[in-house]
Structure 1
């Protein structure tokens, strides 16, 4: 299982793709570096802020059930509802989640003692984690009567509690009195009220199915004319109650599952939704695959958002417009993923983004920021007529070290050179395992420096991309080998021990071009 030999890319992507993708995109798990490296090592020095050996404070998680390989099956079998966090003790995001998760466990226990909030150390009980396809930390899974599904809620105590209540309680509340309508809808951002013909039958089932699929919206229903009259509803109709984008929206047409579901999905989000932790799950849980991201500085908000609001209504239900204030701390992982530099958006940098087959595809925008230009761009984005964008650092001015630096712009010229056998390490600056490998990999570069047919190279996988790597790189570090005469077959994955001896042996066994490593010259006294 690759999970414990590298920092998984999916864990990094999760913070981006749920927080703006998700693939991401993806949580950046800061693994402990096993060594410190100096300026001569060509890797960023380990920052102790990236990893804390001990949690700052021991969290009171008395209401969180500790799972192991021995009791996991029993707990899942006996409890009707179980939320499980798969974590690693060294994971920074797990530590951030810990107090929120503990608080949520206490609140949920007070709400309903039959609901279990639990956690399992995946580094100790790896077989259980592997059984449930855990690829990054923290990963939360929801078990209902033993059946597993993904947790797609937020990461605050309030978010967790609200999500669990929605999953365990009724998807929609029955409102029998006018006074209850205000009680159930007060302070809620989005509420759907339906006036049903009865509490059973096809209409009721269709309504409840849609309510169950939209955990981020409050649903209430009534069969009482007095309640329905508050919003002038007729039987078998519904209305979405909201204060943004012009206010309430009535359902047009019949209350059937497909049409009603489309109505909710189309109208529950603001035309332009700010990116933040609260909204991330709403964006990526909307079912709308296309997004236009507007990166701007807070000082330019009005200019940027007014144009976006003029465009967005034309694409309701087809594309989500997401505003990203680059001055806020919580968007830094998103900026990194899209290659946007804070302070260099004047007044806006626009990027298109489409989630397809669980992968995020980026699309660059290069036109002037006008209503007409953004409309034309978004039409092409939704229609799938744009060319994907892959980010790249600038080509380095100096690149003569033992390990050659590859960037997105030089990938084909270096890696796909048919006259070279190429070993490529794809790393992340914050990855502890990458830093552990760094001195070994540098020695490997020195060993092959005078071998003309072999290239030892590395690429920062967080700052550079290439279309051929989309499904190949699953974690950091990933080491690939490209035989000179078989580039079209794709790379070989270098697995096993990452020692100098084993890496050199792998090259020897898989290189297409025969070579000899020049013997080392012994230093004479005169050379000393």
Structure 2
């Protein structure tokens, strides 16, 4: 349906009319749909952006102000993209229920009438336009040759996977399957060939290219979706990736992060000056640590949590191990001090930083209180199986379960089990014991300390006992594997 020259609005709210009138520098084409016409209209275009909103929502009103600017840019695409809005409080309520809209505003893409993707970034014009550019593009782009590959890569904001593939081959099928799965994060380019050697390469973003590291990594494994996907993810960031708040969970431990002023827009030379020095050492320890750089301004809360003074112009280096042990470079950063710092961590000659309360002078005879500095001795080095309750002082559910937990510990005092509790807001715990909320309860067997089992059952004595009896490393004295109390034998 062509809408580039016609203003089409179906039941337009008053505030939308005012916004569009104030910012009417071109012919807007934003259409409001309702539950009666949504299914019909959404199928009339190949690709569309739908904004689910509510009249009382302040963020929705802010978004409505920039929708004309977004629409203007979407009409410049090779295939213009339609924008629809749906009022979830009035005539569009049934449609919003159908698409499980639970907050406002929600932006979703629709392809050939079906829900395709959901916008998750900050609601700025450029971010929304980039999102729809990806949504409206093929999952993988065919190219005739690689003569202009470098210019293509430099014009792309995403990391690119580039391939030379035999037409109709299994590898081509796998490549397109991965492209469909990973397209929002990664750009896929390929050249179909009738003969020759196929290959797949992961190209880092051009702003990370330098003489200390190859611009790409070439895949040499078998024709497996999971194998190629793992290769892409492993090589996505290169030796030293840019860790942001949005992608922080993509970096594996042990992780070495250097915090400093990162500004590729206004000061790329200084940004790469420090990154290159980090790269030099990263190449030496690449099989032992993972490396990243982060903006100290974006992560000032993270640094403040560690008690770090982040006023220095030089990088601040923090290392976090799989066990959640943290190390902070106390010397002024240089290639030499950085190298010595990592070497000492590797040799285990440094004491880790731990967020920790003071250990209590006395401990309950049935439930042991751990803090950050005593967690390893009490839990990781315990000869017994261990149940760990992670709580917060302000948590009502934690207070409710506390009497049950103490009663359970007392009831099972004859078993080889240590019952532990720790305040998760005031103490560091190993990554494997990261709380998913409060309270979080883990079961840790003595032979698998780094793979605790998350307790998901009801918080009753009976359910706790059944769980413990099932998962204990050896059978309990007083309960069978189903949690039933053993019968007491008496001699006549």
The structural deviation recorded for 1:223 is 3.8
The structural deviation recorded for 1:274 is 4.0
Q: How does 1:416-495 map to 2 (within 5 A)?
A: 470-471=436-437
Q: Distance in 2 between matches of 1:71 and 1:115?
A: 19
Tell me which residue corresponds to 1:151: 119
Q: Distance in 2 between matches of 1:133 and 1:375?
A: 52
Tell me which residue corresponds to 1:62: 28
Deviations 1:320-378 (CA, angstroms, capped at 9, x unpaired): 6240222xxxx3xx645886499833653748599xxxxxxx95735446557668989
| Residues 378/95 of structure 1: CA separation in 2 closer, same or farther (3 Å cut) | farther
Deviations 1:71-109 (CA, angstroms, capped at 9, x unpaired): 333333444333223345565655555555433322323
Q: Distance in 2 between matches of 1:469 and 1:86?
A: 33
Choose the corresponding residue for 2:107, options 124, 134, 140: 140
The structural deviation recorded for 1:271 is 3.8
Instruction: Describe the SS at the equivalent of 1:345.
Output: coil
Q: Distance in 2 between matches of 1:224 and 1:65?
A: 44
Q: TM-score, normalised by structure 1?
A: 0.47
Deviations 1:37-93 (CA, angstroms, capped at 9, x unpaired): xxxxxxxxxxxxxxxxx9899555923332333433333344433322334556565
The structural deviation recorded for 1:237 is 0.8
Tell me which residue corresponds to 2:232: 264
Q: Distance in 2 between matches of 1:67 and 1:463?
A: 50
Instruction: Describe the SS at the equivalent of 1:412.
Output: coil
**Equivalent residues of 1:338, 1:391 under 8 A apart:** no
Tell me which residue corresponds to 2:294: 323
Q: Distance in 1 between matches of 2:248 and 2:70?
A: 23
2:167 pairs with 1:202? no
Choose the corresponding residue for 2:183, options 199, 205, 214: 214
Tell me which residue corresponds to 2:3: none
Q: TM-score, normalised by structure 2?
A: 0.50
Instruction: Describe the SS at the equivalent of 1:344.
Output: coil
| Residues 349/148 of structure 1: CA separation in 2 closer, same or farther (3 Å cut) | same
Name the one with the larger helix percent. 1
Q: How does 1:275-424 map to 2 (within 5 A)?
A: 294-296=258-260, 306-307=277-278, 310-311=281-282, 321-326=292-297, 331=298, 335-336=300-301, 340=305, 344-345=309-310, 348=316, 350=318, 365-368=326-329, 370=338, 411-412=392-393
Q: Distance in 2 between matches of 1:90 and 1:157?
A: 22
**Equivalent residues of 1:171, 1:208 under 8 A apart:** yes
Q: Distance in 2 between matches of 1:254 and 1:294?
A: 32
**Equivalent residues of 1:100, 1:155 under 8 A apart:** no
Choose the corresponding residue for 2:201, options 239, 242, 246: 239
| Residues 83/56 of structure 1: CA separation in 2 closer, same or farther (3 Å cut) | closer
Tell me which residue corresponds to 2:70: 104
Unaligned runs of 5+ residues in structure 2 are 1-17, 264-269, 331-337, 358-389, 404-424, 440-457, 462-492
Tell me which residue corresponds to 1:26: none
**Equivalent residues of 2:60, 2:105 under 8 A apart:** yes
Q: Distance in 1 between matches of 2:59 and 2:257?
A: 25
Q: Distance in 1 between matches of 2:19 and 2:426?
A: 30
| Residues 265/377 of structure 1: CA separation in 2 closer, same or farther (3 Å cut) | farther
The structural deviation recorded for 1:143 is 2.6
**Equivalent residues of 1:350, 1:364 under 8 A apart:** no
**Equivalent residues of 1:288, 1:319 under 8 A apart:** yes
**Equivalent residues of 2:48, 2:84 under 8 A apart:** yes
**Equivalent residues of 2:320, 2:327 under 8 A apart:** no
Tell me which residue corresponds to 2:362: none
Q: How does 1:159-198 map to 2 (within 5 A)?
A: 159-177=127-145, 181=149, 184-188=152-156, 190-198=159-167
Tell me which residue corresponds to 1:71: 37
Structure with higher RCO (Cα < 8 A, 6+ apart): 1
Structure with higher Rg: it is 2
The count of residues paired between Structure 1 and Structure 2 equals 336
Q: Distance in 2 between matches of 1:131 and 1:73?
A: 11
| Residues 91/165 of structure 1: CA separation in 2 closer, same or farther (3 Å cut) | same
